[in-house]
Amino acid sequence: MITRDDIISWLQCYRQVVGENKDYLTQLDAAIGDADHGANMDRGFAAVLEKMPTVAAKDIGAILKMTGMTLVATVGGAGGPLYGTFFMRAGATVDGKMELSPLEFLAALEAGLAGVQQRGKATTGEKTMVDALTPACQALRRALEAGQPLSAALQQAAQAAEEGMKATIPMLATKGRASYLGERSIGHQDPGATSSYLLFRCAADCFANKNKE
């Protein structure tokens, strides 16, 4: 089972990794956006970690909803509200739960992705975070349904997210700020797909020792 402490470790890991990749994410956004994705994610997750004590005794749903609401409140632009929606939807799916089975965790991630797609109106192939999140959720579902342990399933999800991230390079952006560039968006990796890959990379690293179910 995935405990609330595991979820907090995942968010702490992500906060650190976002900090380490702040300049990288900003450089990617400088090429096809407005050079703020690294700063946005760094500010947002720093605020999330600051607020963590307010959910110290609360369930996983509350932790994820706090994460989403904090991102919406502290990060402007497209990325903040989209990541905010991702975590708020994920949290609503696991309301009141102090631990999650791997399939419940997957259901939360899938609900988060559905929220992002609803809010951003993007589907795969449009050079956005959806292009990393979708294959990651699909790979996680495939692996869990095939009976693989969570740790192995998350490794495959992270790999699928990485492939999805790289696949955004030749894509033409048709959503978000990058779409203003038209053909000039081709040849650059999407910053949001990159931060989404890092989220799954953190889950794989963080839950590496979880072999139950």
Ligand X SMILES: Nc1ncnc2c1ncn2[C@@H]1O[C@H](COP(=O)(O)OP(=O)(O)O)[C@@H](O)[C@H]1O
In the complex, the residues that contact ligand X under the rule CB under 6 A are 29, 33-34, 36-37, 40, 77-79, 82, 116, 120-122, 128-130, 175-177, 190-193
Looking at the Cβ atoms of 61 and 191, the one nearer to ligand X is 191
Residue 91 CB, nearest approach to Mg ion (Å) = 25
Note the residues at the interface with Mg ion (CB under 5 A).
Answer: 29, 33-34, 36-37
d(CA 157, CA 152): 9
Contact between 201 and 186 under an 8 Å Cβ cutoff? The reply is: no
What is the distance, to the nearest Å, from the Cα of residue 37 to the centroid of all Cα atoms in its chain?
13
By a kind-dependent CB cut-off of 5 to 8 A, residue 128 interacts, out of ligand X, Mg ion, none, with: ligand X
Residue 81's binding partner out of Mg ion, ligand X, none, with CB under 5 to 8 Å set by partner kind: none
Residue 58 — left, alpha, or beta (φ > 0 → left; ψ -120 to 50 → alpha)?
A: beta
Cβ atoms < 10 Å from Cβ of 92: 16
- Report the residue number, 156 or 168, with the smaller CB distance to ligand X: 168
Kindly report the backbone phi and psi dihedral angles of residue 68, in degrees, each rounded to the nearest multiple of 5, phi listed first: -65, -45
Closer residue to ligand X, CB minimum distance, 82 or 94: 82
**Whole-angstrom Cα distance, residue 136 to residue 145?**
14
Ranked by CB distance to ligand X, the top (closest) residue is: 192
Smallest gap, in angstroms, from Cβ of residue 24 to ligand X? 13
